[in-house]
Amino acid sequence: MRVLIVLIFVALLSACSSAPSQSLSSGKSPSLSDTSETKKQLLQMHREWKGVPYRLGGMSKKGIDCSGFVLLTFQSRFGRQLPRTTAQQRELGKSVSKSQLRAGDLVFFKTGWSTRHVGIYISDSQFLHASTSQGVMISSLNNSYWKQKYWLSRRL
């Protein structure tokens, strides 16, 4: 049984991997304070993951949820370890107003009575996330749905 669990864990880890960015392969992670490089990394992540379906608890290109996508993005693109859940990610960094958002900030939404959603701000009111209906995609904070569901933002 223990061997089976280890094999499943190893398979999940290998399925979650993506090609490291050039910055990471050089051993240096991009700084989140460099907004143009952060935006570049987020758009590259979108190109690699666009359309991957949403799957609650998922952590691979077979299916991924919003907090898992945020975790993998920060790990692979910025060399940062984030917690797994939206509730835990909401506790990170410092609060930032919607009008002061910059690339790499986490944006949170209240999508139901107790349901929360997280994405990563890119620029120009656009954010990257794993949507329950369309999978990994870029959406606008000005979209009528997201505008009314917006909750808070955090800067790491």
Q: What is the edge-to-edge ordering of all strands in the sheet holding 106-110?
A: 94-95, 150-155, 106-110, 116-123, 126-131, 135-140
Q: What is the DSSP letter of 92?
A: S
Residue type, 92: L
Determine which one of 32, 42, 66, 82 is catalytic. Answer: 66
- Tell me, yes or no, if 117 is annotated catalytic: yes
- Tell me, yes or no, if 46 is annotated catalytic: no
3-state secondary structure 39-84: HHHHHHHHHHHCCCCECCCCEECCEECHHHHHHHHHHHHHCCCCCC
- Tell me, yes or no, if 129 is annotated catalytic: yes
The number of beta carbons lying within 10 Å of the beta carbon of residue 21 is: 20
How far apart, in whole angstroms, are the C-alpha atoms of residue 74 and residue 81? 7
Determine which one of 117, 118, 128, 139 is catalytic. Answer: 117
Active site residues: 66, 117, 129
